[in-house]
């Protein structure tokens, strides 16, 4: 299973609100990949806690014959279309696309670690993963998504209704 996390907490000039940024990112992802499933979207507090705006977060499951590195390169190109700026860690952003998993592959290179090294610590990632497949097993921790999310009860996350 190949999973991509999607997040935004800044308006963009081109697309609008953080939710609209995420929905537009999915449209662009559909042009590059076979999108098989889309999670619900959630409004989530920034981690680490800060005074920046809350995020909109979700995830998608894709199919692709591209390598993990090639997928990452495509995600970075889409982020550039949103004028994503990377000045410092955990800053506010118009769009954030993270490759979470690539089947059961475990990878650790200078620019890509799979599965994502902090995904199991973040409810804003694990809840969308559970929406897609709560039985997914983390290839390093050997725990299911539904079991990992049980340890993250203290993080604020709210379902967003899309009309």
Q: Which H/E stretch holds residue 160?
A: strand 157-160
Residues 6+ apart with CB under 8 A from 85: 91, 93
CA 153 vs CA 26, 55, 66, 148: distances in Å: 28, 18, 35, 10
Q: Which domain holds residue 23?
A: 2-160
Average pLDDT over residues 10-14: 91
Q: Into how many domains does the chain fold?
A: 1
State yes or no: is 93 an active-site residue: yes
* Residue 18 burial class via C-beta count within 10 angstroms: exposed 0-12, middle 13-18, buried 19 and up: buried
Q: Among the options 13, 86, 96, 122, which is catalytic?
A: 96
Q: Among the options 13, 86, 93, 122, which is catalytic?
A: 93
Q: Among the options 84, 118, 122, 133, which is catalytic?
A: 84
Residue 10 has pLDDT above 70, yes or no: yes
Q: Tell me, what's the pLDDT at 133?
A: 97
Please write the tens of the pLDDT for every residue from 31-78: 999 999 999 999 988 887 888 999 999 999 999 999 999 999 999 999
Residues 132 and 39 sit within 8 Å (Cβ to Cβ): yes
Q: Which H/E stretch holds residue 110?
A: none
What pTM was estimated for this model as a whole? Answer: 0.93
Residue 125: CATH number of its domain: 3.30.70.560
Q: Among the options 86, 98, 104, 122, which is catalytic?
A: 98
State yes or no: is 133 an active-site residue: no
State yes or no: is 104 an active-site residue: no
């Amino acid at each position: 299973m190949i999973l991509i996390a999607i997040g935004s907490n800044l308006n963009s000039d081109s697309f609008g609100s953080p939710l609209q940024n995420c929905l537009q990112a999915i449209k662009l992802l559909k042009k590059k990949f076979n999108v098989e499933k889309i999670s619900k979207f959630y409004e989530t507090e920034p981690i680490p806690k800060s005074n920046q705006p809350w995020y909109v977060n979700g995830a998608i499951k894709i199919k692709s014959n591209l390598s993990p590195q090639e997928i990452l390169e495509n995600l970075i190109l889409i982020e550039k279309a949103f004028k994503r700026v990377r000045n410092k860690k955990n800053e506010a952003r118009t769009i954030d696309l993270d490759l979470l998993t690539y089947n059961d592959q475990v990878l650790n290179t200078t620019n890509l670690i799979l599965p994502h090294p902090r995904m199991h610590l973040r409810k804003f990632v694990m809840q969308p993963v559970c929406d897609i497949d709560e039985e997914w097993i983390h290839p390093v921790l050997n725990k299911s998504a539904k079991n990992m999310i049980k340890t993250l009860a203290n993080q604020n996350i709210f379902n967003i209704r899309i009309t």
